[in-house]
Amino acid sequence: MMQGDSCIDKEILRKQQNHWEKIFLNNNAKFGEKPSLPAQWTAETFRKKGKTNILELGARQGRDTLFLAVNGFEVCSLDYSKNGIHVIRQKARIV
């Protein structure tokens, strides 16, 4: 239940974070290793329009984050899962 002037239900956020932490602890490649079709489309479209900065919401294990970064974009990735972001950072060191 929301309290005061806050529009964020912290209990829902906590449950989401716990859910995604469990998902990534059990399978860091749950969504695959290859970039998604939307990420490929985004890279092509943004490149044509001269866009270079991307905010990725729900970065998961970073397959799109790393694809976009390797293709010359500056990417800021957010995710509920601290483990997911940790995995992205580890993979980024290798790329």
The model's pTM: 0.72
Containing 53, the helix (H) or strand (E) segment is: strand 53-57
Answer whether residue 55 is part of any domain.
yes
Q: Are 76 and 52 in contact (CB under 8 A)?
A: no
Domain limits at 38? 31-94
Answer whether residue 39 is part of any domain.
yes
pLDDT in tens, 20-52: 777 767 666 666 679 999 999 999 999 999 999
Containing 78, the helix (H) or strand (E) segment is: strand 74-78
Mean of pLDDT values over 70-80 = 92
Answer whether residue 23 is part of any domain.
no
Cα(53)–Cα(92) distance, rounded to whole angstroms?
A: 17
Answer whether residue 71 is part of any domain.
yes
Mean of pLDDT values over 10-24 = 78
Mean of pLDDT values over 6-17 = 79
Answer whether residue 4 is part of any domain.
no
Answer whether residue 26 is part of any domain.
no
Cα(26)–Cα(42) distance, rounded to whole angstroms?
A: 29
How many domains are there within the chain?
1
